Amino acid sequence: MGIQELTLESLNVGEFISEKVAEIKSVVGEGVAISALSGGVDSSAVTLLAHRALGKRLKTYFIDNGLMREDEPEYIVSLFKRLGVDVELIDARAEFFKELKGLTDPEDKRNAITHVFYKVVFGNLVKDSGARYLLQGTNYTDIEETIAGIKRQHNILEQLGIDTEKQYGYKVIEPLIQLRKQGVREVAKALGLPLEIYARPPFPGPALSARIIGEVTPEKITIVRAATKITEQELESSGAFQYLAVLHEDRVTGIRDGKRNFGLQIEIRCWESKDAKTGSPTRLSYETLEKLADRITREIPGVVSVTYNITKKPPSTIEAV
């Protein structure tokens, strides 16, 4: 695929950081660049690399797409403020929900998110700020899966033949493209990011929309957001690679207050994996599973069924959409 992987064994973190800082400086020159911060380890590392390279000439934006976890936008903005990086919060919730309306096919949903993110939101931000470059945290696994046709990762553009300058009006810089997650974590740690960021479980670019089967609506996001919070609270100490909750489209019959309730289903997934390329379900204790089911059905109105996914990747993928 034309890009050479830099394995963990051959990564010299100090040298890598100096090289990437120099590269960003030389590409951007005297101009302005934009960083698309999502708060994941990839975009956090890129933001700090670019901040080292460009200082005030870097504009960092956090896009609130309405699909984030609870309190995520405020949490990330304040965390970066403590690190000396000003982040502007952009409210793009309405734009994303408008574009997602009526879409049920997974790839259509992913394409819609890519379109709003790069064309609508960043197209305008770039125009307004005079920037010619967008920095983003694409990693080696993202390109591999998109090219293999498994999933269109939200951040893959040039590798799919998209000329970002022509289509969106800016060039994309991807300093982490040769690294897998473990390598990115090492770089993030060396850059001085706190443990809560460099050790953070992965979270997909399309955010909670990757965890809703069928149409994405604000109401469904509220439900999957509540299930995500409980799942993360209960599984944080599991040491697993990633854990998540999925909201299903099909309903099942349940009982509430002694009456029939044709209610919602939440599926829990918890993964053991090194690089997200393959994975297997964590052997969670029955106690943990029961606690999850109890809390989710008790705390989230309308949910009457909780299941645990016991499939490996492949044939499953980590996210449901």
Residue for token pair 């399309």: 206
In angstroms, what is the minimal distance from the CB of 274 to ligand XMP? Answer: 11
Q: Which is nearer to ligand XMP, 34 or 304 (CB)?
A: 34
| Bridging pattern class, strands 259-272 and 242-247 | antiparallel
Q: Which is nearer to ligand XMP, 180 or 295 (CB)?
A: 180
Distance separating alpha carbons of residues 266 and 304, to the nearest angstrom: 8
Backbone φ, ψ for residue 150 (5° rounding): -80, -55
Give me the torsion for CA of 234, 320, 157, 65, rounded to 10°: -60
In angstroms, what is the minimal distance from the CB of 156 to ligand XMP? Answer: 8
Contacts with ligand XMP, residue ranges (CB under 6 A): 142, 145, 150-151, 153-155, 202, 204-206, 210, 242, 276, 313, 317-319
Distance separating alpha carbons of residues 69 and 63, to the nearest angstrom: 13
Distance separating alpha carbons of residues 38 and 163, to the nearest angstrom: 23
Q: Which is nearer to ligand XMP, 142 or 186 (CB)?
A: 142
In angstroms, what is the minimal distance from the CB of 186 to ligand XMP? Answer: 17
In angstroms, what is the minimal distance from the CB of 152 to ligand XMP? Answer: 7
Q: Which is nearer to ligand XMP, 157 or 304 (CB)?
A: 157
In angstroms, what is the minimal distance from the CB of 59 to ligand XMP? Answer: 21
In angstroms, what is the minimal distance from the CB of 14 to ligand XMP? Answer: 26
Cβ atoms of 121 and 139 closer than 8 Å:
no
Query: Which residue type is seen at 147?
Result: I
Residues 6+ apart with CB under 8 A from 134: 33, 34, 35, 36, 122, 126, 164, 170, 171, 172, 173
Q: Which is nearer to ligand XMP, 145 or 158 (CB)?
A: 145
Q: Which is nearer to ligand XMP, 154 or 185 (CB)?
A: 154
